[in-house]
């Protein structure tokens, strides 16, 4: 279904040299007692060198699983990659053995997770845990390892790192813990940093600090970043490009400025409408579709004010290019034979009365 939809093949080819990661038609499913969860259902995206791609969506949109699929971090079983490819620097990671993947995990592709409270092992000191990462990804030995650990902790803004080597995670604040996690992520000098809601669990002031820190280290280490979030406010601050996901599908993708200026997908528009201090996405009425039994047609149909007969048939509408090369929208109204005018009132004013 999506073969005809990928943005112009020629353009993709011309940009190929600076594409670091290319996820193609990714399908991830979880086999549970209740049935098969269609967590990620044919998602494609690229990450170019040095850029920040934000993946935005509600919980259950598949954004986290898409990211964890890159280095297969979720438990398997129950989770399986049932289709697609994940090409990183010329290698298809989906066909790599777990052993091969270990060469990428933490080394070339690092992760920072949402909940710093749980991200560190409670029974080991932070010095020990950063050291583990250093030992795994460098050839340093003896006191050089320790020096490196101290350097890393210093780089992420832990004051007097030497005195904190022996601290246990419970002795640190949430923000400090997240800094430690970032220090571990930097240990392998990764090319790609995947930050999965790294600031969601933190206080607003701390959020800002951690965002600044991430921006900082990205620049200093010249990394690409995938930033997963449900907070469009954060997106505006850090993203180069944005991927909007809903119920395991990509709804819209665009350059961050264009997306904020002129969202073309009803869902993106709804997200933006809920933005000013309204506590995220609760403003959009309705629920995510059943992940066990995704409905036919557009996943957003049930909550979409511009829904038509056409929307609830067949598959998710293809990602139609709109305007610039980078901009695609998965909505029937943007089909070559569709009428974007149908969305006129919607992408401007949807949810206005809720927010």
Partner 1 sequence: MQQPQWWWCAVKKWGYLVSRLLWAGVATWVILTITFVLMEFTPNAQYAQLQFSAAQSGGDPEQALETAKRLRGDTGTLWAQYTEFLSNIVSGNWGWSTYRSQPVTEALATAIPWSMMYGVPSLIISTVLGMTIGLYSALNQYSREDYAATLFAFMGISIPNFWFAIILLVFFGTVLNWVPILFDTGVAQNAAGNLTLGGVFSLANLRQLILPVVVLTTGSIASLMRYSRAEALEYVEADFVKTARAKGVSDRMIVLKHILRPASIPLATLLVGDLLGIIFVGSYLVEVVFGIPGLGTLSYNAIINQDTALVFGTIFVPTFIAIVGNLAQDLSYAYLDPRISFGDDE
| Interface contacts to ligand SF4, rule CB under 6 A | 265-266, 298, 300-301, 304, 306-307, 311, 317, 331-333
Question: Which residues, 108 to 127, sit near partner 1 by CB under 8 A?
Answer: 110-111, 113, 115, 117-125, 127
Q: By CB under 8 A, tell whether 184 contacts partner 1.
A: yes
Out of partner 1, ligand SF4, none, what residue 217 binds, judged by CB under 5 to 8 A for its kind, is none
Question: Which residues, 201 to 240, sit near partner 1 by CB under 8 A?
Answer: none
Q: By CB under 8 A, tell whether 105 contacts partner 1.
A: yes
What is the C-alpha to C-alpha distance for residues 87 and 257, in angstroms, rounded to an integer? 27
Out of partner 1, ligand SF4, none, what residue 107 binds, judged by CB under 5 to 8 A for its kind, is partner 1
126 neighbors 165 (Cβ within 8 angstroms)? yes
Q: Looking at residue 94, what DSSP letter applies?
A: G
Residue 308's nearest CA partner among 352, 338, 284, 336 is 338
Q: By CB under 8 A, tell whether 35 contacts partner 1.
A: no
Out of partner 1, ligand SF4, none, what residue 341 binds, judged by CB under 5 to 8 A for its kind, is none
**24 - beta bridge partners?**
85
- Pick between residue 108 and residue 230 the one whose CB is nearest to partner 1: 108
What is the C-alpha to C-alpha distance for residues 116 and 93, in angstroms, rounded to an integer? 27
Which helix (H) or strand (E) segment holds residue 151: the answer is helix 143-155
In the set 167, 231, 315, 325, which binds partner 1 (CB under 8 A)? Answer: 167
- Pick between residue 38 and residue 148 the one whose CB is nearest to ligand SF4: 38
- State yes or no: cis peptide before 151, omega within 30 of 0: no
Out of ligand SF4, partner 1, none, what residue 262 binds, judged by CB under 5 to 8 A for its kind, is none
How many of the chain's residues bind partner 1 (CB under 8 A)?
47
Question: Which residues, 137 to 166, sit near partner 1 by CB under 8 A?
Answer: 137, 159-160, 163-166
What is the C-alpha to C-alpha distance for residues 178 and 234, in angstroms, rounded to an integer? 17
What is the C-alpha to C-alpha distance for residues 101 and 104, in angstroms, rounded to an integer? 5
Exposure class string for 90-107: b at 16+ Cβ within 10 A, else e:
eeebbebeeeebeebbbb
Q: By CB under 8 A, tell whether 86 contacts partner 1.
A: no
- Pick between residue 5 and residue 36 the one whose CB is nearest to ligand SF4: 5
- Pick between residue 33 and residue 309 the one whose CB is nearest to ligand SF4: 309
Out of ligand SF4, partner 1, none, what residue 219 binds, judged by CB under 5 to 8 A for its kind, is none
- Angle in degrees, CA 292, 297, 302, rounded to 5: 75
């Amino acid at each position: 279904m999506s073969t005809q939809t990928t943005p112009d093949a020629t353009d993709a080819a011309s940009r190929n040299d600076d594409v670091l990661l290319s996820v193609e038609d990714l399908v991830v499913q979880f086999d549970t007692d209740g049935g098969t969860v269609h967590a990620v259902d044919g998602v494609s995206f690229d990450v170019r060198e040095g850029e920040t791609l934000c993946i935005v969506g509600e919980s259950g949109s598949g954004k986290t699983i898409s990211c964890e699929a890159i280095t297969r971090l979720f438990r398997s079983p129950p989770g399986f990659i049932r289709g697609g490819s994940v090409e990183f620097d010329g290698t298809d990671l989906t066909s790599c053995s777990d052993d091969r993947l270990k060469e990428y995990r933490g080394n070339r592709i690092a992760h920072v997770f949402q909940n710093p409270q749980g991200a560190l092992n409670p029974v080991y000191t932070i010095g020990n845990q950063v050291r583990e990462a250093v030992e795994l990804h460098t050839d340093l030995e003896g006191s050089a390892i320790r020096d490196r650990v101290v350097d890393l902790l210093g780089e992420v803004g832990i004051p007097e790192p030497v005195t904190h080597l022996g601290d246990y995670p419970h002795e640190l604040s949430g923000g400090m813990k997240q800094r430690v996690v970032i220090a571990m992520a930097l240990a392998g000098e990764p090319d790609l940093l995947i930050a999965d809601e790294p600031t969601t669990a933190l206080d607003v002031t701390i959020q800002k600090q951690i965002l600044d820190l991430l921006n900082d280290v990205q620049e200093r280490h010249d990394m690409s970043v995938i930033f997963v979030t449900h907070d469009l406010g954060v997106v505006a601050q850090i993203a180069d490009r944005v991927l909007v996901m809903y119920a395991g599908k990509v709804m819209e993708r665009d350059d961050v400025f264009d997306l904020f200026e002129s969202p073309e997908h009803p869902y993106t528009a709804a997200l933006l409408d809920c933005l000013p201090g309204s506590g995220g996405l609760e403003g959009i009425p309705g629920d995510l579709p059943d992940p066990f039994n995704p409905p036919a047609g557009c996943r957003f149909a049930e909550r979409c004010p511009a829904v038509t007969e056409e929307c609830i048939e067949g598959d998710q509408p293809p990602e139609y290019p709109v305007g610039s090369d980078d901009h695609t929208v998965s909505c029937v109204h943007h089909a070559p034979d569709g009428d974007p005018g149908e969305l006129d009132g919607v992408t401007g004013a949807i949810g206005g009365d809720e927010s």
